[in-house]
Amino acid sequence: MRLHTTTVLGLSSLVVLALAGCSSGSTPADDPVSPASAPTQQEGKHSPVPELLSSVALNKRLLEESDLGEGYTRKPQQPRPQGDVVVFGCPALEELGSGSATGSGLDFPRKAKVSFTYTGSSSEISEQLYSDSAAKLSKGIGKVFDAMLSCPSYQVASGSTVVDVGTGEMAAPDLGDERWSQLLSFSSGGQSSVVKQTAIRVGDVLVLVSGTPSLVDTHLQRALGKVQRVL
Q: Other CB atoms closer than 10 Å to residue 75's CB: what's the count?
A: 17
Exposed / middle / buried, residue 189 (Cβ in 10 Å: 0-12, 13-18, 19+): exposed
**In contact, 164 and 155? CB cutoff 8 Å:** yes
Return the CATH class of domain 2-38+47-227: alpha beta
pLDDT digits (tens, 9 = 90+) for 96-136: 763 332 233 477 889 999 999 998 777 899 999 999 999 99
User: What is the spatial distance between Cα 144 and Cα 124, in angstroms, rounded to a whole number?
Assistant: 23
Name the DSSP class of 91: H
Q: Are 183 and 198 in contact (CB under 8 A)?
A: no
Rounded to the nearest 5 percent, the helix, strand and coil shares of the chain are 25, 30, 45
Please compute the mean of the pLDDT values over residues 84-105 and round it to a whole number: 62
> What does the pLDDT average to over 82-95?
77
pLDDT tens across 125-180, in order?
Answer: 999 999 999 999 999 899 888 888 999 999 888 778 888 999 999 999 999 999 99
Of 28, 23, 22, 31, which is closest to residue 59 (Cα–Cα)?
A: 28
Q: What is the mean pLDDT of residues 76-96?
A: 73
Which amino acid belongs to residue 227?
V
List the one residue out of 223, 210, 205 whose CA is nearest residue 62: 223
Beta-bridged to residue 179, according to DSSP, are: 200
pLDDT value for 70: 92
Please compute, for residue 77, the number of CA atoms within 13 A of its CA located in the half-sphere on the CB side. 8
| DSSP string for residues in 9-56 | TTHHHHHHHHHT-----S-PPP-SSPPPPPPPP-TTSPPPPPSS--HH
pLDDT at 93 over 90: no
Largest separation between any pair of C-alpha atoms in the chain? 53
Q: What is the pLDDT of residues 179-220, one digit of tens each?
A: 999 999 988 888 888 999 999 999 999 999 999 999 999 999
| Phi and psi angles of residue 196, each rounded to the nearest 5 degrees, phi first | -100, 140
Neighbours of 4 (CB within 10 A): 18
- Rounded to whole angstroms, how far apart are CA atoms 83 and 92? 21
